[in-house]
Structure 1
Amino acid sequence: MQNVPRISGSPDQHRTATRKKILVAVRDVMASDGVDKLTMAEVAGRAGLHRSVVYNYFPDVRALLIAHARYETERFMDELTGALGSAATATEQIVAYVHQQLADFAAYPQPAGPELATLLGPDGYREMHAHVQPLGMLLTDIIRAGVEAGEFAPSDPAATANLVHACLGAERFPLGQGHRDLEETTERVTTFVLRSLGAETNGGRSDV
């Protein structure tokens, strides 16, 4: 029988560490076997825990998926903040954002939106989507700063951020499945996004 491994520290630290093990196991199962193979038993086995332990933290697969979305968003935001720290301009921030997002798609394969929508239902999908809204707000702020600084062509920052995310999202599945080369994809998408924003590329400014 699998048991909770001994984790030193306070009860809160123990609980946090166990919760993280479960959510990392969710990511591993989806990456290797697909979201259709995601079960409480499979997650427990991958985490090295008894299934009852997983149920102590999450009542069902739906709750696991929503918590996983929040966990992955927080992880990515931390990594993205570090990448943006060395960017001096909005253009450099956009480049860093695109590079970080595409690299994350390749490193951490995620199920397609329709698959998640089927599993979660409309309410669950909206709840999960709410956890990734900080990314949209961050990208909107970068675009707004670029427009105000004259680096980007005038546009509605929020609407433009949605378009950029749609462009990036189209690469999620191909990169996650290894169907596209990360370096080539990053160069192609970065050039496209910069041109769409009216930013300067290697060929000069592209006003759209």
Structure 2
Amino acid sequence: MPKITGNSLDEHRELIRQSVFEALTALLEEKSFDAITMAQLAAKAGMGRTAIYHHFPDKEAVVVAFASHETDQYLDRLREVLATSDSPIDRLRIYVDYHLVAGEQFHMGLGMQFYGMLSEDSRMAIREHVLDVERVLRELLEAGMQSGDFVVDDLSATMSLIHACLSPRHLDPKVIEAFVLRALGVR
């Protein structure tokens, strides 16, 4: 019988998932997704070659679970920091700053090339979590529009443009923040 780590079965499962996620991250630094096998993931996670299948049916399931886990952590922390202000302008500043800083800490940017290797079902599962992040921005913008702080003609286009502005990692976050706020009519 396999040894249970942690104080409960749930804690054991979470520890296994975390070690598989860490193994995936490490292996992706070494090789492409299509070159990674479940056996390599298991070995890197310190578990038996067949044991990994008790937790994940295949490597796509690992990626979907990993992306979901990362997004959930990202959103929990984002909501925490957004709760520190009621001002739509301050909340958008927090959103922009948090996204730029957290983007360095979380592995959510799996990349279009990688994303394209996944099945339609896996892409849709990951997309659901992206929509959760987009909902936060939509709520921020709608609150700013309602208060008169933001001028937004096309909400969907504005959201896409804001997220596009959050991609360049080589720019000073304050420059990006100022640009986004000016684009929304904030002086």
TM-score calculated relative to the size of structure 2: 0.85
Mapped partners of 2:121, 2:66: distance in 1? 16
2:163 corresponds to which residue?
165
User: Which stretch of structure 1 is more off in the superposition, 92-101 or 141-150?
Assistant: 92-101
Mapped partners of 2:74, 2:89: distance in 1? 20
Provide the secondary structure at the position in 1 that maps to 2:179. helix
Matched length: 186
**Structure 1 gaps, min length 5:** 200-204
Residue correspondence of structure 1 range 96-115 to structure 2 within 5 A:
96-109=94-107, 110-115=109-114
Letter in 2 for 1:198: G
Mapped partners of 2:36, 2:173: distance in 1? 30
Provide the secondary structure at the position in 1 that maps to 2:172. helix
Q: CA RMSD in A?
A: 2.4
1:48 corresponds to which residue?
46
Letter in 1 for 2:111: A
User: Which stretch of structure 1 is more off in the superposition, 108-117 or 185-194?
Assistant: 108-117
Residue correspondence of structure 1 range 1-208 to structure 2 within 5 A:
6-31=4-29, 33=31, 35-109=33-107, 110-117=109-116, 119-168=117-166, 170-171=167-168, 175=169, 180=170, 184-199=171-186, 205=187
Taking only the aligned residue pairs, the percentage that are identical comes to 29
What is the CA distance between 1:18 and its match in structure 2?
1.6
Measured against aligned partners, the alpha-carbon deviations of 1:95-114 in whole angstroms (never above 9, x if no partner) come to 11111111122223533113
Q: Structure 1 residues 188, 45: closer, same or farther in 2, change over 3 A? A: farther
Q: Which runs of 4+ in 1 moved over 4 A?
A: 31-34
TM-score calculated relative to the size of structure 1: 0.77
